[in-house]
Chain A
Amino acid sequence: MKRNRDQLLTSNLLRGNSTLLVLSILRDAPTAGFEIATEIQRRSNQLIDFKQGTLYPLLHEMERKGLIESDWHLPKQGRPHRVYRPTEQGLQELEHGLRAWADFATAMTLVTGVKPEEQGA
Chain B
Amino acid sequence: MNPMPLGPNPLIEDYLDRLSAPLVGVVPAQDRLRLRAEAGAHLERQVERALLTGGDENEAIRQAIEAYGPAAIVAREYIETWYANGVQGPLYDRFGRANLTAFSRFAVAHVLFGLLLQFRVFLPSEAAYSLPISPADTRRFLPAPFPVPEDPTFGLLSTAYLLLAPIVAGWLTGLAVPVGASRSAAHAMLPIVAFSFCAGSLVLPMTEGIAFAFVQVVYWLPAGMLAAHLGRAHARLRALEGR
Kindly identify which residue among A53, A61, A81 contacts B45, using a CB–CB cutoff of 8 Å: A81
Q: Give a binary string over B27-43; 1 marks a CB under 8 Å from any A CB, 0 the rest.
A: 00001001101111110
Which residues of B60-112 have CB atoms within 8 Å of chain A's CB atoms?
Answer: 67-70, 73-74, 77-78, 80-82, 85
> Considering only CB atoms and an 8 Å cut-off, how many residues of chain A contact the other chain?
21
Q: Report the Cα distance A58→B81, complex, angstroms.
A: 8
Task: Determine the residue in chain A with the shortest Cβ distance to B46.
Answer: A34
Contact B42 A78 (CB under 8 A): no
A32 at the interface (CB under 8 A from B): yes
- Note all chain B residues with C-beta closer than 8 A to A37: 42
A63-77 interface code vs B (CB 8 A; 1 in, 0 out):
011000000000001
CB distance from A96 to the nearest CB of B (A): 20
**A58–B69 CA distance with the chains assembled, in angstroms:** 15
Task: Quote the shortest CB–CB distance from A5 to chain B (angstroms).
Answer: 20
| A51 CB within 8 Å of chain B | yes
Q: Given that A56-B38, A57-B77, A60-B81 are contacting pairs, would A78 and B45 also be in contact in the complex, using a CB cutoff of 8 Å?
A: yes
Asked whether A106 is an interface residue with its Cβ less than 8 Å from the other chain, the reply is: no
| A52 located at the interface, meaning its Cβ lies under 8 Å from any Cβ of chain B in the complex | yes
B48 and A56 contact, CB distance less than 8 A: no
Q: DSSP class of B's interface residues: helix, strand, loop or mixed?
A: helix
B37: A residues at CB distance < 8 A: 79-82
* B81 cross-chain contacts in A, Cβ below 8 A: 57-58, 60-61
Chain B residue numbers with a CB within 8 Å of A30 are: none
Q: What distance in Å separates the Cβ of A80 from its nearest Cβ neighbour in chain B?
A: 7
| Known contacts A34-B46, A81-B41, A81-B42; A51 and B74 CB within 8 A of each other | yes
Complexed CA–CA distance, A58 and B78 (Å): 8
Of A51, A57, A61, A80, the residue contacting B68 (CB under 8 A) is: A51
Given contacts A51-B69, A57-B78, A58-B81, contact A78 B41 (CB under 8 A): yes
Instruction: Give every chain A residue within 8 A of B35 (Cβ-Cβ).
Output: 56, 60
**Cβ contact of A56, chosen from B39, B44, B80, cutoff 8 A:** B39
Q: A52-B68, A78-B48, A80-B37 are in contact. Are A60 and B42 (CB under 8 A)?
A: no
Which residues on B sit within 8 Å (CB–CB) of A54? 69, 73-74, 77
Instruction: Report yes or no: B2 in contact with A77, Cβ–Cβ below 8 A.
Output: yes
Q: Which residues of A contact B19 (CB under 8 A)?
A: 53
B121 at the interface (CB under 8 A from A): no
A-B contact pairs, 19 of them (CB 8 A): A32-B42, A34-B42, A51-B68, A52-B42, A53-B19, A53-B77, A54-B69, A54-B74, A56-B38, A57-B80, A60-B82, A61-B81, A64-B85, A78-B2, A78-B48, A79-B40, A81-B38, A81-B42, A82-B41
